[in-house]
């Protein structure tokens, strides 16, 4: 925490932390125009701590990717940022990103991932805070439980955290945290604004993203995405899963192109396959909608059947991999059902954990796991799982462990 | 009647594509498998009818005189008599098999007896015409299975590759002979249960399973198209297509729920050596086929067979698209076959 600032407008009284959830494709169905996809919030979170300074600097620390960068507020203030002032929310074009690079002053040899993360921050900082009389001096640390580059929406969670924190510190949206609150969320309208800005951050990083990742990270729960339209599933149940990263690298573009090629080569075979995947997503949406507070065993069975069928379909589309087969085999030998999530060809898989398995639904598992971005005051220290690094605890000082005890009991 | 020795053989079959989907009105491709059944017939003068089936340990005989005296009017209802359950019961009395004779064994004996009594009673030996052979073979199948589709006997009679859909059977013209490994996982399964499982999945998730069956249908049609184009010298690209079709169909069959860990293992072992396999037939265990493309060195093939055998599977190197029912000269037969027929 820190002392109140002496600038004209009051700021947050103490440092705030917000976290955005990762996003994960439950049914990644190689989307054609009409196909539906379900994206669900993944409770591996990205945490942001923002502290107002009085040292005249903007400090940005991203320990996951080894970034520690700072700017003088005074120098930033002097910049010609008129390129940002084109209406309420400026779309980040490639030209704009180039200008930001000059402003950022990053070293030549800075890797792409790292520089895009910095540029996204700078874009959001300069755009959101430019309405302030003076640019704020801030210390920002962002740390994520999510691996990046694994199709889990880590960049979106990052953008959502930045948008939420910056909008709050600039008082564009109110701070929803009341006295005595551990955690709280913004209103619907405020979340809309957070999501809009987070999407711009995503555009700096990805160029032309779909917008689903930041939507899931903002809203939480489960989203349906079809033909560019995003809608929330009402009251989706919180499902326990294992998320596994095979760590086999893959090229998303190549995999997506491969599916397209297979469709062109065998249209009569692949088109109905995509129709079948669409039906799987719809059936899953239906079951999730019916599950509510106390899901029945039969409903879990259906989810498992859907997982299995979709995994076979994804293999038939040619986006499988031996590592994913191994993942499925290992879990199947223990009566559990898994599928790849995202691009395939390696990458991540999800395994559904049903009640009755030790650690599922027991103590240490909080309800409402699919929360989207929220503000946390004091994060309760829960039992630390053995596989967390010391750095993470020290960097944040606190840790929310929502699935650690489950993980450590299952992933021996 | 002819008085010399007759040696006849007929091939087995595998379903190349379309299993399970065929039950739901889709097309299937059935191909003759060059693992053959051999029959040697020797006219006797000892007044007996001797039947030996060494594979299942059957050795049975009847007095021709006694058989002649039987009232076989139950067989005389037109040219080809359909074997009804009642007819099969009457045959059992005629056969005189022991009480403890197992089902498979007794059905094999009854099928023989039915065909022997029915065909030979006319004392006419007409030239073997494939249609006629097939018609009778189908009747024999009905004794054994009750209500078979007729595809198995058709493939065995005509050989090559057949297309089968909604009861209609037609031959593919000039299908290529493809080299394969046939692997038996030896995991027993219940065909009826597996077929019912697919039906249940269709009823439970019609929007998911119906397009899946449509996709399988399209795989069979694409395979038929490629086989039709392959001719004498198939191109590597055509084998590539066949392999893609095999892979996709195998995933679809898994999605239908008729896969099995043993079949996954089979596919894994062959995939590790760059070859492509799929289950054939009911699934849930049972057999799989692996396409052997040209250019494979024999040591590679042997290594693959070794790997499969060490999984506990039985493995044969053979071909599909084989000749149908054939008649052989004694000297042209493999010594192994000769010995088997001699009961050694």
| Complex confidence, ipTM | 0.75
Burial of A39 (0-12, 13-18, 19+ CB in 10 A): buried
Residues of chain A with CATH 3.30.70.890: 236-409
> B210: nearest CA in chain A?
A276
Q: Would you call B205 and A305 a contact, using CB atoms and an 8 Å cutoff?
A: yes
Check if A155 is active-site.
yes
Q: Would you call A268 and B218 a contact, using CB atoms and an 8 Å cutoff?
A: yes
Give me the residue from A275, A306, A312 closest to B254, CB to CB.
Answer: A312
Yes or no: say if A300 and A357 are a contact pair by the CB < 8 Å rule.
no
The pLDDT-based confidence of B127 (bands split at 50, 70, 90) is: very low
3-state helix/strand/coil string of chain A? CCCCCCCCCCCCCCCEEEEEEEEEEEECCCCCCCCEEEEEEEEEEEEEEEEECCCCEEEEEEHHHCEEEEEEHHHHHHCCCHHHCCCCCCCCCHHHHHHHHHHHCCCCCCCHHHHHHHHHHHHHHHHHHCCCCCCCCEEEEEEECCCCCCCCCHHHHHHHHHHHHHHHHCCCCCCCCCCCCCEECCCHHHHHHHHHHHHHHHHHHHCCCCCHHHHHHHHECEEEEECCEEEECCCCCCCEEEEEECCCCCCHHHHHHHHHHHHHHCHHHHHHHHHHHHHHHHHHHHHHHHHCCCCCHHHHHHHHHHHHHHHHHHHHCCCCCHHHHHHHHHHHCCCCEEEEECCCCCCEEEEEECECECCCCCCCCCCCCCECCEEECCCCCCCCCCCCCHHHHHHHCCCCCCCHHHHHHHCC
pLDDT greater than 90 at residue B269: yes
Residues of B contacting chain A (CB within 8 angstroms): 201, 205, 207-209, 211-212, 214-215, 218-219, 221-222, 244-245, 247-248, 251-252, 254-255, 261, 264, 268
Question: Tens digit of pLDDT for each residue in B8-55?
Answer: 999 999 999 999 988 888 999 999 999 999 999 998 777 789 999 999
Angle (CA) B272 B277 B283, round 5° = 125
What topology does CATH give the domain A6-231?
Ribosomal Protein S5; domain 2 (3.30.230)
Q: Which of A389, A391, A384, A390 is nearest to A407 (CA)?
A: A384
Yes or no: say if B187 and B286 are a contact pair by the CB < 8 Å rule.
yes
Residues of chain A with CATH 3.30.230.10: 6-231
Task: Suggest the residue from B251, B264, B277, B279 to mutate for an interface test with chain A (most A CBs closer than 10 A).
Answer: B251
B153-B155-B157-B160 Cα dihedral, nearest 10 degrees: 180
Check if B342 is active-site.
no
pLDDT by position in tens, chain A (length 412): 222 222 222 233 334 455 555 555 444 444 444 678 888 888 889 999 999 888 999 999 999 988 899 999 988 888 777 767 665 666 778 888 888 888 888 887 788 888 899 999 999 999 999 888 889 999 999 999 988 777 788 899 999 999 999 999 999 999 888 888 888 889 999 999 999 999 999 998 888 788 889 999 999 888 888 888 888 888 788 888 999 999 998 888 889 899 999 999 999 999 999 999 999 999 999 999 898 777 899 999 999 999 999 999 999 999 999 999 999 999 999 999 999 998 899 999 999 998 876 555 444 333 333 456 666 543 333 333 323 221 121 111 112 222 333 333 333 3
Q: Which helix (H) or strand (E) is B50 found in, with range?
A: strand B48-53
pLDDT score of A363 = 41
Higher-confidence residue of B324 and B80: namely: B324
* Residue B149: strand, helix, or coil: coil
The pLDDT-based confidence of B299 (bands split at 50, 70, 90) is: very high
pLDDT score of A286 = 92
Yes or no: say if B313 and B186 are a contact pair by the CB < 8 Å rule.
yes
Give me the residue from B218, B219, B255 closest to A312, CB to CB.
Answer: B255
Query: Where is average pLDDT lowest: B153-157, B170-174, B234-238?
Result: B170-174
Chain A residues within an 8 Å CB radius of B252: 273, 312, 316
State both tokens at A290.
């019916």
Q: Would you call B222 and A266 a contact, using CB atoms and an 8 Å cutoff?
A: yes
Give me the residue from A269, A309, A332 closest to B218, CB to CB.
Answer: A269
Number of neighbours of residue B275 by Cβ within 10 angstroms: 21
pLDDT score of A397 = 16
Chain A residues within an 8 Å CB radius of B247: 316
CATH of domain A236-409: 3.30.70.890
Task: Suggest the residue from A309, A310, A326 to mutate for an interface test with chain B (most B CBs closer than 10 A).
Answer: A309
Number of neighbours of residue B168 by Cβ within 10 angstroms: 8
The CA–CA distances, whole Å, from A349 to A326, A383, B93, B182, B305 equal 11, 26, 62, 33, 33
* Residue B329: strand, helix, or coil: coil
pLDDT score of A376 = 56
């Amino acid at each position: 925490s820190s002392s109140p600032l002496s600038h004209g407008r009051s700021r947050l009284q103490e440092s705030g932390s917000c976290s955005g959830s990762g996003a994960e494709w439950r049914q990644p169905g190689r989307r054609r125009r009409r196909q539906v996809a379900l994206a669900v919030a993944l409770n591996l979170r990205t945490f942001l701590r923002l502290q107002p300074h009085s040292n005249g600097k903007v400090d940005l620390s991203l320990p996951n990717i080894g970034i520690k960068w700072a700017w003088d507020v005074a120098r930033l203030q002097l910049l010609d940022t008129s390129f940002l002032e084109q209406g309420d929310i400026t779309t980040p074009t490639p030209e704009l990103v180039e200008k930001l690079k000059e402003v950022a002053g990053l070293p030549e040899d800075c890797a792409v991932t790292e520089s895009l993360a910095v540029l996204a921050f700078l874009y959001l900082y300069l755009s959101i805070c430019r309405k302030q009389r003076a640019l704020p001096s801030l210390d920002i640390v962002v740390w994520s439980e999510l691996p990046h580059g694994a199709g889990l929406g880590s960049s979106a969670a990052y953008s959502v955290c930045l948008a939420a924190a910056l909008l709050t510190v600039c008082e564009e949206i109110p701070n929803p945290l009341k006295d005595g609150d551990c955690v709280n969320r913004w209103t619907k309208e405020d979340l809309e604004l957070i999501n809009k800005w987070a999407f711009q951050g995503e555009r700096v990083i990805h160029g032309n993203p779909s917008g689903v990742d930041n939507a899931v990270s903002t809203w939480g729960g489960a989203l349906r995405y079809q033909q560019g339209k995003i809608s929330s599933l009402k009251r989706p149940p919180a499902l326990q899963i294992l998320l596994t990263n095979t760590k086999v690298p893959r090229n998303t573009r190549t995999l997506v192109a491969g599916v397209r090629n297979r469709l062109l080569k065998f249209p009569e075979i692949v088109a109905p396959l995509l129709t079948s995947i669409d039906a799987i997503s719809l059936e899953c949406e239906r079951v999730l909608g019916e599950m509510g507070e106390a899901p029945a065993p039969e409903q879990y069975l259906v989810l498992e059947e859907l997982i299995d069928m979709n995994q076979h379909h994804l293999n038939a589309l040619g986006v499988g991999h031996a590592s994913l087969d191994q993942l499925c085999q290992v879990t199947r030998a223990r009566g559990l059902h898994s599928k790849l999530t995202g691009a395939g060809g390696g990458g991540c898989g999800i395994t559904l954990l049903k009640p009755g398995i030790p650690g599922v639904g027991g103590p240490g598992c909080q309800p409402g796991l699919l929360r989207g971005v929220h503000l946390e005051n004091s994060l309760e220290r829960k039992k630390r799982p053995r596989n967390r690094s010391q750095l993470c605890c020290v960097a944040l000082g606190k840790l929310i462990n929502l699935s650690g005890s489950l993980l450590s009991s299952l992933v021996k």
